[in-house]
């Protein structure tokens, strides 16, 4: 969407009011990974589809997009509950996720999302820190962050599948991210592309910016609680200076 300075001011005021905060002291950005930093979601969706088929279950690729952001375990349990009326055993969780990872690793390397590096670079130039909060445990992709994004992210304070118990849409991953970055919710923004991820950022009381990089309808991101919605990274970048300047005006009462 195209926002005016006044739209952005109103969005920040609504966020502060909703959470009972008086100031917005922007210091860091918490980035989701799949669909925000890498265009990996189509590969995740096809890998899930094939792995589930191998184990006799049906998970259409489109549905996989709707589960985006969940942990692998949560996704497997939802599908198995639907298909077989029960949750998965520890062995099944391990085997199915391992199979999905094998298929994912066979996919071409996911390309970075256009503009993502430029956006993080702008944030860093404005004195902000950035880290990654992802439900992913895909070592193949996690290992590529530095190749593409240099030292833009605090990788030692990243949150991955290995840190969380519940995963998105629970606020837990973002709450852990805030803790690792040593900031309060009103000192950060979340950048997300999926409804469940937006829900998690919103529930963690962080100002959540949705960037719709995939096939879903943008209204789903607003309904999940996005404070701002952009249809591409380019659109977010176009608004960045204005957003940052308006945000700065909320640093002190
Ligand atoms: Ca995502």
Catalogue all structural domains in the chain, each as residue range(s) with its CATH number. 5-39+113-248 (3.40.50.1000), 41-105 (1.10.150.240)
Task: Say how many Å lie between the CA of residue 122 and the centre of ligand 1.
Answer: 21
Span from the CA of 210 to the centroid of ligand 1 (angstroms)? 10
Question: What is the mean pLDDT of the segment spanning 158-168?
Answer: 91
* 24: DSSP letter: -
Q: What is the pLDDT of residue 219?
A: 93
Angle at Cα 130 formed by Cα 128 and Cα 133, nearest 5°? 150
Please tell me the distance between residue 121's alpha carbon and the centre of ligand 1 in angstroms: 20
Cα of 197 to ligand 1 centre, how many Å?
7
Ramachandran assignment for 85, one of left (phi > 0), alpha (psi -120 to 50 degrees), beta (any other): left
Chain centroid to Cα 223, Å, comes to: 16
Let me know: does 237 contact 118? Beta carbons within 8 Å: yes
* Top-confidence residue, 65 or 174: 174
Ligand 1: distance of its center to the CA of 214 in Å? 9
The Cβ of residue 191 has, within 10 Å, a number of other Cβ atoms equal to: 27
Task: Give residue 216's pLDDT.
Answer: 85
Query: In angstroms, what is the span from residue 36 Cα to ligand 1's centroid?
Result: 6
pLDDT for the residue 124: 98
- The whole-chain average pLDDT of the chain stands at 95
pLDDT tens readout for residues 39-56:
999 999 999 999 999 999
| pLDDT tens digit sequence for 127-148 | 999 999 998 877 777 788 999 9
Can you list the alpha helix ranges (DSSP code H) found in 55-164? 61-66, 72-84, 90-106, 116-125, 139-142, 145-149
* 178-197 average pLDDT score: 97
DSSP assigned state of 252: -
**C-beta of residue 32 within 8 angstroms of C-beta of residue 193:** yes
Average pLDDT of the residues in 93-100: 97
pLDDT for residue 143: 80
Q: How far is the CA of 32 from the centre of ligand 1 (A)?
A: 6
Q: Report CA(24)–ligand 1 centroid distance (Å).
A: 25
Q: Mean pLDDT over residues 190-218, rounded?
A: 95
Q: Which residues pair with 46 in a beta bridge?
A: none
Distances (CA, A) of 88 to 6, 50, 55, 68: 50, 18, 12, 19
Whether the per-residue pLDDT at 231 is higher than 90: the answer is: yes
Residue 28: its pLDDT value, please? 98
Q: Which whole number is the average pLDDT over 79-83? A: 97
- Which residues are close to ligand 1, an ion, with C-beta < 5 A? 32, 34-35, 193-194
39 C-alpha vs ligand 1 centroid, how far in Å?
A: 9
81-95 mean pLDDT: 97
Distance 252 CA to ligand 1 centre (A): 32
Q: Give the mean model confidence (pLDDT) for residues 106-134.
A: 96
């Amino acid at each position: 969407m195209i926002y005016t300075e006044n739209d952005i001011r109103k969005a920040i005021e609504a966020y502060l009011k909703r959470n009972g905060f008086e100031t917005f002291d922007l210091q860091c950005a918490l980035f989701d990974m799949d669909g925000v930093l890498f265009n990996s979601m189509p590969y995740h969706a096809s890998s899930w589809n094939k792995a589930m088929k191998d184990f006799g279950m049906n998970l259409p690729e489109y549905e996989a997009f709707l589960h985006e952001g969940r942990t692998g375990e949560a996704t497997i349990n939802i599908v198995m509950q639907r298909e077989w009326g029960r949750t998965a055993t520890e062995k099944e969780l391990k085997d199915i996720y391992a199979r999905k990872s094998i298929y994912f690793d066979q996919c071409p390397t996911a390309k970075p999302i256009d503009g993502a590096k430029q956006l993080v670079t702008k944030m860093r130039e404005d004195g902000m820190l950035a880290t990654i909060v992802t439900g992913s445990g895909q070592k193949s992709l996690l290992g590529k962050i530095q190749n593409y994004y240099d030292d833009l992210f605090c990788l030692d304070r990243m949150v991955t599948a290995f840190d969380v118990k519940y995963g998105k849409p629970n606020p837990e991953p973002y709450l852990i991210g805030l803790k690792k970055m040593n900031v309060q919710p009103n000192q950060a923004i979340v950048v997300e592309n999926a409804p469940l991820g937006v829900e998690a950022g919103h529930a963690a009381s962080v100002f959540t910016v949705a960037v719709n990089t995939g096939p879903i309808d943008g209204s789903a991101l607003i309904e999940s609680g996005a404070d701002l919605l952009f249809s591409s990274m380019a659109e977010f970048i176009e608004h960045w200076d204005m957003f940052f300047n308006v945000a700065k005006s909320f640093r002190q009462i």
